[in-house]
Structure 1
Amino acid sequence: MGSVITGCSMPQADPSQQSIPTDSNQWQEKLGKTFEQLSESDRQLLSRYMLRMKLSEAFEAGAVPRTTIKQALVQQREYERLHPNNPTGKKSPIIANQQLGRIQAQTYPIALLPVKTSNSDSLNQVKLQFVLSNEGTIPIQSFKGSLLMQDAKLAKGKNFNVPITTFVPPIAPEQSSTIVIETSIEDINVMRAIKNAQDVTIIISEGTLILTDGQKIEFLNKLTK
């Protein structure tokens, strides 16, 4: 009689062999689960590699090289050995701030919900609701800072200060939560823009966003000053 083998299972695929999409917009969707299978040190190393790619001329030209996670980690270790003080390859503080600002805006987008105000369009005490989305890989614990509202009808943007807001529960990846503030607005054009929220662009002009793993994401958009 033949023996019966029990307790066998298929070997798990090596996450380091997965290819990194050349389209950075697919990184989170394609690598999310694989990313969690890596060790903490490899996750940090891969994050710095991806940031370096996004800050590179290849990314600006739409030509991020095709590679596997394993190859990317090897490349990043060698890059950091040669450039210990510049692991992400930023060219200058100004360029880096502008590039990081665009990356952060894509990772933590903000939207304004329509609000109902009085008919007077004068001094109004309004309650504004902003929606913060988490397109990153780590839950968002809290945020404090300033939001800049921009609209084609406005001569200049309007800033709204947000006191520290703790999200309970934290905003999980691919989820959203609201930030509610009360403010007085005298500008009629600002009021009209708020009533037509679909035409309004909201960005985080400055502030600190804290993730559940203790990371602090700093925002500083010098172009809005």
Structure 2
Amino acid sequence: MKGLQRRFNKALYLTMTVTVLALASGCSSPQTDPSQKTIPTDSDQWQDELGQTFEQLPAADQQVLSRYMLRMKLSDAYESGAMPRTTIKQALIQQREYERLHPNNPTGKKSPIVTGETANATAQKYPVALLPIKTSDSDSLNQVKMQFMLSNHGTVPIESFKGTLTMQDDNLEQGKNFNVPLITFDPAIEPEQSGKIVIDSSIEDINVMRAIKNTTGMTIEIKEGTLVLVDDQTIEFGNSLAK
């Protein structure tokens, strides 16, 4: 009888032990992967809905996600409803791929229109010069091939340019404009290097022809247009944004 009682007590003890362990295990809720959290399509809710989740991410992921959110903000994608619902994990993958392709511009920030003092500083960063050209013997209705040299004193290579160049000369009452179609530089114009812009132009003004033949005192500047850098930054000159 006593042996039976001991076996019963032992079984009861084992049962209670298993029960306690099961209860202890059940009290701790399963860990949720923060990267599976969906980013709200309304950016105004990011702070409230992602605050605690953000803190659970590794420091490196926090930085990448911050740059992703800033890039989305700058693109107005969430405000316009253009972005589908995306998880943090998907956002991190997208941002890392974007940064691989655009290492110098991780947030996709674009330069504002260049005017006033900023325009003068930018003109010095991207100066334009007129190269020697060949003209016909006649000073009337000359069809000439204009060649300009665009220099890059910035830190990012120049990918393309489209716009209007203006020639100023002491002997001209008003500047002469030259329209430049979209030109993609291949290879891109590296920092402290120059690239050539070549266009055809019909020049009827004899004073313009004389100024071209004698470049002393002549200046060439970008009147308006768009200059695109290899990291997708765009620099707008003059009234380009208004068109």
TM-score bracket, shorter-length normalisation:
0.5 to 0.7
Shift of 1:122: 0.4
1:64-95 per-position Cα deviation (integer Å, ceiling 9, x unaligned): xxxxxxxxxxxxxxxxxxxxxxxxxxxxx9xx
TM-score, with structure 2 as normaliser: 0.51
User: Which ranges of structure 2 fall in alignment gaps of 5 or more residues?
Assistant: 1-62, 67-112
Aligned to 1:151: 169
Structure 2 residue identity aligned to 1:134 = N
SS at match of 2:162: strand
Structure 2 residue identity aligned to 1:160 = F
Measured on the aligned residues, the alpha-carbon RMSD in Å equals 2.7
Kindly name which structure, 1 or 2, has the bigger radius of gyration based on alpha carbons. 2
SS at match of 1:202: strand
Aligned to 1:201: 219
Aligned to 2:118: 100
1:170 to 188, 191, 210: 188
Q: Which runs of 4+ in 1 moved over 2 A?
A: none
- 2:153 and 2:136 mapped to 1: Cα distance? 35
Shift of 1:221: 6.9
Matched, 1:133 2:155: no
1:158-199 per-position Cα deviation (integer Å, ceiling 9, x unaligned): 000000000000000000010000010000000011111243
- 2:229 and 2:163 mapped to 1: Cα distance? 15
> Once the two structures are aligned, what percentage of the paired residues are identical?
63
2:228 to 210, 215, 218: 210
TM-score, with structure 1 as normaliser: 0.55
Aligned to 1:118: 136
Structure 1 residue identity aligned to 2:166 = L
The number of residues matched between the two structures is 134
Alpha carbons of 1:221 and 1:170: their partners in 2 closer, same or farther (altered >3 Å)?
A: same
User: Which ranges of structure 1 fall in alignment gaps of 5 or more residues?
Assistant: 1-38, 42-92
